[in-house]
């Protein structure tokens, strides 16, 4: 723990539900889907509420003013790190979109089932093969330098698996921090985490309330999808790891002393689900350094990977900044998902009175910004006869490979951070 930074673990105590500020209109028949990972602003909002409760009364008027009342745009008193997953003492960051889930045909599954019906010796053999198949669930896309095409993003090289006919699915996966992307599916799968295998989803019924009357509204029934960690609440459960960096070390110290005693409970995310917050005492809570990130890097490919969402408006600037920084490298591909809107919602009020009442209640975004999700990445290739480990030790002198573009006001929420991951 540095003088200015405190590392925290957030354990959802029951279920969690992160709706990302969107409304529930029309969800009486369809459950409102929850995000698996809490948005950065949701985390900072919950932590600021906890800070107000725990340290607010112990601060001077000037510190209170700066932390809880002043505009943060000029001199933010707090910065939030990107959220990571921690599971069984291991830390995971969002994997680049180069990592995909392989889809095997039903025919292959049927053949495996037939093999399982043989004698016990063959049965044990098949179990071993089945386990190997599970280990090789994930694979890494590789560029074909002979196939390229022009897009609005520039020249892009074709990406595929080693077997070009192998089907695969793109979705958010997580990789153990400090590990390279390995083209060998067996080795790669050993460092991957698929949170979907650790959770279950529950559908719950809710009733809308009139905030002024504190009573139920007629017909305001909605369905929500909650997420539950299947292994329950313990020190080894799936939890969210974040860091808060304070400009004022006194505030951090007061917060540290409070958490050291018993930890704290807060209401977290939509519908105010309970979460337990304590301090992370692990010695590996920091992000990986250049030395341990690239000590096994013997290839010529690397990915610049977003570990927190980046505003779409900042992406061209970010891409150009990376191209300028690594100007002797070749940009092979850009991988992003469809932009997602992050922001609040409210009823639209600026509608002419002559319009129908239904249109008057139309919802619209409030201060919404579109973001590319974590895992969006840039794929680069080094000049010929250049090795990653030697090249990066000469190019970068920082102790950490995690940085962020200056995208205020979003940088203080932890948006726009990236890391460099080698491919081997």
342 located within any domain? yes
Q: Which tokens go with 152? A: 């609005």
CATH number at residue 79: 3.30.70
158 located within any domain? no
Higher pLDDT, 230 or 241: 241
Average pLDDT over residues 362-377: 72
Q: Is the pLDDT of residue 84 over 80?
A: yes
**Confidence grade of residue 327 (pLDDT, cut at 50, 70, 90):** confident
Average pLDDT over residues 405-417: 71
Specify burial of residue 62 (Cβ count, 10 A radius: 0-12, 13-18, 19+): exposed
Q: Is the pLDDT of residue 406 over 70?
A: no
Q: Which tokens go with 223? A: 């369905």
Q: Is the pLDDT of residue 349 over 50?
A: no
Cα angle for residues 223, 227, 232 (degrees, 5° grid): 140
**Confidence grade of residue 355 (pLDDT, cut at 50, 70, 90):** very low
Percent composition of the chain: helix, strand, coil (DSSP 3-state, to 5): 25, 35, 40
Report d(CA 351, CA 362) in Å as an integer. Answer: 9
273 and 313 part of one domain: no
Q: Which tokens go with 359? A: 């249109």
Report d(CA 241, CA 239) in Å as an integer. Answer: 7
Higher pLDDT, 71 or 51: 51
**Confidence grade of residue 353 (pLDDT, cut at 50, 70, 90):** very low
88 and 202 part of one domain: yes
Report d(CA 110, CA 119) in Å as an integer. Answer: 17
367 located within any domain? yes
Q: Return the pLDDT at 98.
A: 93
108 and 241 part of one domain: no
**Confidence grade of residue 331 (pLDDT, cut at 50, 70, 90):** very high
204 and 299 part of one domain: no
Q: Return the pLDDT at 141.
A: 92
Q: Return the pLDDT at 351.
A: 40
145 located within any domain? no
Report d(CA 333, CA 156) in Å as an integer. Answer: 5
Q: Return the pLDDT at 137.
A: 86
In 280-336, DSSP assigns E strands to 301-306, 310-311, 330-335
19 and 73 part of one domain: yes
361 located within any domain? yes
Angle between helical axes of 40-54 and 249-262 (0-180°, round to 10): 80
Average pLDDT over residues 320-337: 88
Average pLDDT over residues 15-21: 74
204 and 298 part of one domain: no
Cis amide bond preceding 180, omega within 30:
no
Domain boundary, last residue among 279, 306, 331: 279
pLDDT tens per residue across span 156-207: 888 988 887 888 888 889 999 888 888 888 889 899 999 888 888 888 877 7
Q: Is the pLDDT of residue 138 over 50?
A: yes
215 and 296 part of one domain: no
**Cα 174 to chain center, whole Å?**
8
What Rg value do the Cα atoms of the chain yield, rounded?
24
359 and 234 part of one domain: no
Q: Is the pLDDT of residue 396 over 50?
A: yes
Q: Return the pLDDT at 201.
A: 86
Q: How far is the first Cα of the chain from the last one, in angstroms, to the nearest whole number? A: 32
Angle between helical axes of 120-135 and 106-116 (0-180°, round to 10): 150
189 located within any domain? no
184 located within any domain? no
Report d(CA 222, CA 19) in Å as an integer. Answer: 13
Report d(CA 94, CA 307) in Å as an integer. Answer: 6
CATH number at residue 402: 2.60.40.4350
228 and 297 part of one domain: no
Q: State the SS3 of 103-141.
A: ECCHHHHHHHHHHHCCCHHHHHHHHHHHHHHHHCCEEEC
Domain boundary, last residue among 260, 279, 298: 279
Expressed as residue numbers, the domain containing 65 is 5-92+197-279
Average pLDDT over residues 391-407: 56
Q: Return the pLDDT at 364.
A: 47
Q: Return the pLDDT at 211.
A: 64
Q: Is the pLDDT of residue 73 over 60?
A: yes
| Mean pLDDT computed over every residue of the chain | 76
Q: Which tokens go with 248? A: 């004022």
- Closest to 32 measured CA to CA, from 274, 273, 226: 226
- Closest to 202 measured CA to CA, from 186, 223, 187: 223
78 and 218 part of one domain: yes
Domain boundary, last residue among 251, 279, 307: 279
Most confident of 100-109, 144-153, 178-187, 379-388: 178-187
Report d(CA 418, CA 396) in Å as an integer. Answer: 15
Q: Total domain count for the chain?
A: 3
pLDDT tens per residue across span 231-283: 655 556 788 999 998 988 999 999 999 898 888 888 877 677 888 999 988 76
Most confident of 355-359, 380-384, 401-405: 380-384
Q: Which tokens go with 88? A: 């069984």
% of the chain residues with pLDDT over 90? 13
Specify burial of residue 340 (Cβ count, 10 A radius: 0-12, 13-18, 19+): middle
Q: How does DSSP assign 16-52, residue by residue?
A: E-B-TT---TT-SSSPBPPBSS--HHHHHHHHHHHHH
- Closest to 369 measured CA to CA, from 346, 345, 342, 344: 342
Q: Which tokens go with 78? A: 């707090």
Q: Return the pLDDT at 95.
A: 93
Query: Lowest mean pLDDT: which of 304-308, 371-375, 417-421?
Result: 417-421
201 and 344 part of one domain: no
233 located within any domain? yes
Average pLDDT over residues 379-384: 87
Average pLDDT over residues 310-333: 87
262 and 313 part of one domain: no
């Amino acid at each position: 723990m540095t003088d200015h930074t405190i590392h925290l673990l957030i354990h959802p105590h029951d279920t969690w539900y992160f709706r990302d500020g969107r409304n529930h209109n029309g969800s009486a028949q369809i459950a409102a889907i929850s995000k698996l990972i809490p948005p950065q602003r949701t985390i900072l909002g919950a932590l600021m509420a906890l800070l107000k409760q725990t340290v607010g009364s112990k601060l001077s008027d000037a510190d209170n003013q700066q932390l809880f009342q002043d505009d943060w745009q000029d001199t933010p008193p707090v910065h939030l790190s990107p959220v990571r997953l921690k599971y069984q003492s291991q830390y995971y960051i969002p994997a680049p979109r180069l990592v995909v889930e392989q889809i095997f045909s039903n025919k292959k599954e049927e053949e495996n089932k037939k093999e399982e019906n043989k004698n016990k010796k063959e049965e044990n053999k098949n179990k071993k093969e089945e386990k190997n198949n599970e280990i090789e669930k994930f694979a890494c896309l590789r560029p074909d330098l002979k196939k390229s095409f022009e897009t609005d993003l520039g020249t892009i090289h074709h990406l595929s698996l080693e077997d070009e006919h192998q089907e695969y699915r793109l979705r958010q996966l997580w990789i153990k921090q400090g590990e390279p992307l390995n083209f060998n599916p067996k080795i790669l799968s050993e460092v991957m985490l698929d949170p979907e295998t650790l959770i279950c989803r529950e559908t719950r019924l809710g009733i809308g309330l009139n905030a002024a009357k504190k009573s139920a509204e007629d017909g305001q029934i909605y369905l929500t999808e909650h997420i539950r960690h299947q292994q329950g609440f313990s020190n080894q459960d799936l939890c969210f790891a974040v860091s808060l960096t304070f400009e004022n070390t006194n505030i951090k110290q007061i917060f540290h002393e409070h958490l050291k005693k018993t930890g704290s409970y807060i209401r977290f995310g939509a519908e105010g689900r309970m979460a337990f917050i304590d301090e992370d005492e692990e010695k590996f809570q920091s992000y990986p350094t250049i030395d341990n990130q690239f000590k096994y890097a013997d290839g010529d490919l690397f990915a610049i990977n977003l570990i927190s969402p980046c505003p779409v408006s900042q992406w061209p600037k970010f891409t150009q900044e990376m191209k300028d920084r690594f100007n002797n490298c070749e940009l092979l591909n850009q991988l992003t998902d469809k932009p997602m809107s992050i922001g609040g919602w409210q009823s639209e009020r600026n509608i002419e009175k002559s319009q129908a009442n239904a249109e008057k209640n139309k919802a619209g975004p409030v201060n919404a910004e579109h973001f590319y999700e974590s895992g969006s990445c840039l794929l680069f290739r080094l000049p010929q006869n250049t090795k990653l480990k030697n090249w990066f030790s000469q190019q970068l002198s920082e102790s950490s490979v995690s940085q962020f573009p200056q995208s205020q006001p979003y940088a203080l929420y932890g948006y726009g951070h990236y890391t460099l991951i080698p491919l081997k």
